[in-house]
């Protein structure tokens, strides 16, 4: 029979308590519960000892009532439970501050707008979005690891944070840790300096989902790569979700160890490309709705045509137009859009056809060759100049410009534009040609642009 003066409880009674917790509160049970140790029972309080302060905090936050109910059911008495830690490790510095990797706020804050509902799906990101949703709904089982890559401003961070929101909203009360690669490296260095690697490893290896942005910065960090390799293995073997993002594929990250490249490639590698015109328009509508901004459809199309590089610039253009409209009385129209984005009061009268005529005359090449598939340098350079000028002097989108040149892909237009923009800074002859062609286009009426031939 249980008596009040008992100072410890037997193994049988402790087994009954833990069985009650597992049966009635399975969502709270963690694997490390097997290492919990029952302590003394005094004055109606049972002490339960965890291995470290992090476990103790979890028990205090989530398990006080379930353990008290289990103890009362097993003993038949009104008993409460107190939790303690067997670890005496002191990590505070001389100012009483604890390391950032120990604190609950050690990860990056999540943006409440970065959820799946606010993500615009298009051909450029359909695979990455579907994989992200699956990872959030079945963490550790659907796609593990999930590696998302693409240029800046295309939505990688949005997807990563949406996964974290999805994981944390699950009924199992799972924990997702969202950090940048730089944060991981800094936490590791801090742990080494303080001799607290065990605490660091516990922090990173006992989460339900580890989500790291910009993993490419792990390159050329040998010790950090070694530590992440073991963290990755521990999480993967425990079927914990791993989500990574970078600006390139795993194989293209310089100085990344082969064993990490192999592991990153072992799951799903999903690429995000630049959005097409229709997707950019849908993104603008979504951003406007989130910001409660009324944007006419012609302005939506104008912004999407004017900004075709990344989503952040699209949002920046929308914010700029909204700010300009507030100065003009609160009404968004095409005049405000032109002024906000640095355009004249009316759209440019220069057409792509004008540019084609001027460039073919300057380089003395045939229009059919420019729009054809020939790749000889004498044809490729004038074609690239046309694409560059079309992007600089008109409001056409990359897709629309590509259509004038034999239905070429928007990435081809973007590459040509960037190439000519870079070369003109180094080649005086090219810069002079571009300036002269531009002057001819700007001083002649639309449809009559001709430039003297200078091959």
| Helical H segments across 394-450, by residue range | 398-404, 410-423, 428-443
The tokens describing 95, both together, are 């100012």
Instruction: List the one residue out of 106, 247, 235 whose CA is nearest residue 177.
Output: 106
List Cβ neighbours of 357 (8 Å cut-off, separation of 6 or more): 367, 449, 450
Instruction: List the one residue out of 36, 35, 39 whose CA is nearest residue 9.
Output: 39
Return d(Cα 69, Cα 80) in angstroms, integer. 8
Please give the model's pTM, rounded to 2 decimal places: 0.56
Segment 377-395, tens digit of pLDDT: 888 899 999 999 988 888 7
Whether residue 9 is predicted with pLDDT greater than 80 in this model: the reply is no
The string over 402-440, giving b where at least 16 C-beta atoms fall within 10 Å of a residue's C-beta and e elsewhere, is bebbeebebebbbebbeebeebbeeeeeeeebbeebbeb
Q: How confident is the model at residue 132 (pLDDT cuts 50, 70, 90)?
A: very high
Q: Which residues sit opposite 311 in a β-bridge?
A: none
Segment 248-294, tens digit of pLDDT: 899 888 888 999 999 999 999 999 988 887 888 888 888 888 888 88
For the chain, the average pLDDT equals 82
Whether residue 329 is predicted with pLDDT greater than 50 in this model: the reply is yes
Say if residues 55 and 21 touch (Cβ distance below 8 Å). Answer: no
Go through the domains of the chain in sequence order and give each one's CATH number.
11-85 (3.30.300.180), 116-271 (3.40.50.300), 277-340 (1.10.8.60), 352-443 (1.10.1750.10)
Percent of the chain topping pLDDT 70:
89
Segment 193-240, tens digit of pLDDT: 877 888 888 889 888 999 999 999 888 788 899 999 999 999 999 999
């Amino acid at each position: 029979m249980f008596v009040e003066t008992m100072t410890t409880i037997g193994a049988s009674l402790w087994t009954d308590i833990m069985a009650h917790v597992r049966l009635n509160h399975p969502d709270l049970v963690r694997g490390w519960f097997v290492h919990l140790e029952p302590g003394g029972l005094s004055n109606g309080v049972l002490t339960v000892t965890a291995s470290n302060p992090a476990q103790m905090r979890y028990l205090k936050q989530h398990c006080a009532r379930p353990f008290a109910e289990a103890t009362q059911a097993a003993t038949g008495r009104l008993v409460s439970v107190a939790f303690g830690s067997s670890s005496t490790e002191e990590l505070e510095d001389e100012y009483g501050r604890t390391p950032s990797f120990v604190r609950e706020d050690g990860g990056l804050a999540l943006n409440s707008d970065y959820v799946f509902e606010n993500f615009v799906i298009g051909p450029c990101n359909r695979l990455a979005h579907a994989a992200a949703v699956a990872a959030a709904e079945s963490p550790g089982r659907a796609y593990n690891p999930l590696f998302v890559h693409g240029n800046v401003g295309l939505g990688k961070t949005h997807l990563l944070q949406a996964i974290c929101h999805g994981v944390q909203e699950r009924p199992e009360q799972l924990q997702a840790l969202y950090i940048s690669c730089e944060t991981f490296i800094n936490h590791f260095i801090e742990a080494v300096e303080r001799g607290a690697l065990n605490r660091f490893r516990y922090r990173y290896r006992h989460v339900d989902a580890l989500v790291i942005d910009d993993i490419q910065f792990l390159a050329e960090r040998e010790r950090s790569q070694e530590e992440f390799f073991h963290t990755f293995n521990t999480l993967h073997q425990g079927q914990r979700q791993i989500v990574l993002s970078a600006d390139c594929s795993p194989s293209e990250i310089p100085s990344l160890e082969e064993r990490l490249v192999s592991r990153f490639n072992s799951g799903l590698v999903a690429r995000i490309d630049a959005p097409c015109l229709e997707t950019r328009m849908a993104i603008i509508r979504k951003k406007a709705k989130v910001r409660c901004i009324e944007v006419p459809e012609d302005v939506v199309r104008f912004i999407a045509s004017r900004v075709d590089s990344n989503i952040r610039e699209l949002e920046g253009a929308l914010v700029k137009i909204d700010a300009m409209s507030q100065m003009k009385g609160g009404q968004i129209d095409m005049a405000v859009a032109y002024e906000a984005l640095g355009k004249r009061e009316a759209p440019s009268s220069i057409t792509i056809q004008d540019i084609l005529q001027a460039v073919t005359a300057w380089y003395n090449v045939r229009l059919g060759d420019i729009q054809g598939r020939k790749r000889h340098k004498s044809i490729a350079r004038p074609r690239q100049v046309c694409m560059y000028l079309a992007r600089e002097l008109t409001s056409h989108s990359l897709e629309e410009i590509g259509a004038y040149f034999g239905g070429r892909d928007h990435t081809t237009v973007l590459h040509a534009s960037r190439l000519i923009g870079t070369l003109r800074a180094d080649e005086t002859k090219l810069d002079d040609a571009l300036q002269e062609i531009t002057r001819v286009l700007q001083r002649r009426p639309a449809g009559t642009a001709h430039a003297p031939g200078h091959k």
